[in-house]
Chain A
Amino acid sequence: MSHPIQAAKFLEDKSNAKWHDETLWFVRDKRDTSSKGIPEWENLRELASSIKDNVLSNLDSYLVEFEKNAIKNGIKIHWAKDAEEHNQIVLSILKEKDCKAIVKSKSILTEECHLNPYLEENGVEVVDTDLGERIVQFLNQPPSHIVLPAIHLKKEHISEIFHEKLQTEKGNNDPYYLTQAARKHLREKFLAAKVAITGVNFGVAETGEFVVCTNEGNADMGVHLADTHIACMGIEKLIPKREHLGVFLRLLARSATGQSITNYNSHFRSPSEGKEIHIILLDNGRTKQLGREKFRNSLKCIRCGACMNTCPIYRRSGGYSYDSVVPGPIGSILSPGIDLKKHSSLPFASTLCGSCSDVCPVKINIHEQLYEWRQEITKAQSSINAKSIAMKIANGIFSTPYAYKLSGQIMRGSLKILPESVTYSNLNTWGKERDLPELPKQSFKDWYKNNGNE
């Protein structure tokens, strides 16, 4: 289902949509206050962006350096070219350890690989331990935001789920009470798990160590109690040196939630005695994105979520409307690179106001890339129009007849739905559509039919 249709669904519950919008704007506001406390903020963003440039232009040698140092530290390194291989590696480690139940802390990468369903099919119980992720897991939903996984849910709803799953008092909606219930429940899981999985925020080539940041402490509770720690890491997560952590840790939490730093910033360099650490280095389309000059910068992303909190479309359409593991502005430039068929409406889910690029701590030119994706799509469409029905493949991006599905209908859909949805509240000055392209009245599909095809 395309973004505009999903967005319309989200907007049916007006009061929830309004709450969602205002709450995320509040988070964005905290980010502003926090960043203004740092006089060198803009220098830090420049610096972070240039460090990531350096990483992306030398990724092969940094990966080799990281691997060498990690192995020296007693860590086991695995390489996975795609999600399937990643999941198989995880399962093979679990089998070797004879492990049937694992705890996992927030990892967008494992969502990307659909690790949970894979492990469950293979008889492994997976418990997501970040509170927000546990909540959405109870509901069989994916996270709707990369930093605030359950931001689409109200406490009444969460209370109902907890009543059912954790036998909390019916109708007790107190966030403290509900959090304590989850704490108790998850303690049992932490104490029982032999293997713990985490994501990785940063890998340091110079030392072979990696850093995991959480506020709840769930990653640490999991890995220090388990015998085996599996860290799942995208190959773009590297930074050259330890000192660069200073730059990124100053930016990450301030951009994400407005905190000056996350509560727990754990540096893993070698396993404690008798234990094991495994790192899985995953490609899954990243080397392809690296090869796309216009979109390469998207790999700098440190997953802070700031572009989502600020985006007038994200705030008003909810994470699920993107139907993509990473939603929001950054998701809309990453996901079409992974699966264009599925995600082609996403570059249009934007007003191109540029607010995302303004807040991005690593200075990704997000709105320009959104525009570039549109160009690619529009180019494909016009070449189709010009050259009869033979699908002219623009830049090799379109390899299926999907091009016509994503053409007029969806774009007109956005034009039809967005202006009214976006202007339901006067709170935001970005309520006006500014940059959706002019579209012909007749859709390509209709045109296709009218010209005697099908």
Chain B
Amino acid sequence: MNSREHILSEIRKLKLPKSELFGIPIFGIEGDLLDSFKQAILSNKGEVISEDELIDSLQSGGYINIYTPLDQYATYSNCDLPEDPHDFRNLDLAVVRGHFGVAENGAIWLDDTVLAHRVLPFITEHLIIVLDQKSIVSNMHEAYSRIGQEYSGFGVFIAGPSKTADIEQSLVIGAHGAKSLRVVMLGKEKEKGILT
């Protein structure tokens, strides 16, 4: 018997009583989603910036190698998409689009459709994610129902810059992945007051 058969038959031999699978009830969150999301990004040691600040950053000359797959910022991109992702090793700044953000924890969903290479948001020294203001969902349950059965070979929730506390529990930003995360909220904020 090979190991597969062996393991499966060991389990089947036990004849365990079946237990039911319960559905997930709907849990919402209180308060304004956009505010909660921004707050969560800050607690994760990320930053929320405006589109003007993004443009300033791109123009500042502070970043030598910039890559973005986004058309609207293509003029600032000064690297071509390399065939080999290793060639991103000296990348200073990447700007990518996120699909949506999660208010309860600041997590942003990215997948193969927005990442030119899977390693891009990790290998870059600094990362900026642009996000539609209206794309914020309340919590992880809503996040997964939004992803639904969509197929992507790779997908990731990114919630902040790379960090570690492995030395005496002191928080250090910038372990192996991007040393900073800035999030740009695009589009109009939802109207809060009454229109005059």
Contact = CB atoms under 8 A, between A and B. Distances in A.
Interface of A: 23, 26-27, 38, 40, 43, 47, 50-51, 53-54, 56-60, 63-64, 73, 79-81, 85, 129-132, 135, 148-151, 153-155, 158, 175-176, 178-180, 182-183, 186-187, 190-191, 215-218, 220-221, 224-225, 235, 240, 242-247, 249-250, 257, 259-272, 281, 283, 287-288, 290-291
Contacts of B18: 57-58
Interface of B: 2-4, 6-8, 10-12, 14, 16-22, 24-25, 27, 40, 43-44, 85-86, 89, 102, 104-107, 112, 117-119, 122-123, 139-141, 143-145, 147, 149, 151-170, 172, 174-178
A269 B151 contact: yes
A221 B21 contact: no
22 contacts: A23-B169, A50-B22, A60-B8, A148-B165, A191-B89, A215-B163, A216-B164, A216-B175, A221-B177, A224-B117, A225-B119, A225-B123, A242-B144, A243-B145, A249-B157, A250-B104, A260-B43, A260-B159, A261-B106, A263-B163, A281-B7, A283-B3
Contact of B16 (A57, A81, A129): A57
The DSSP consensus for interface residues of chain B is loop
Contacts of A60: 8, 11-12
Contacts of A129: 176
Contacts of B40: 260
A221 B119 contact: yes
A80 B6 CA distance: 10
B160 A79 contact: no
B43 A179 contact: no
A417 to B, nearest CB: 27
A179 B172 contact: yes
Contacts of B123: 221, 224-225
Nearest to B150: A242
Contact of B158 (A148, A257, A263): A263
A264 B109 CA distance: 10
Question: Which 5 A-B pairs give the minimum distances between C-beta atoms?
Answer: A217-B177, A132-B166, A224-B119, A260-B105, A216-B175
A155 B167 contact: yes
A58 B15 CA distance: 9
Contacts of B156: 220, 264-267
Contacts of B175: 131, 179, 182-183, 215-218
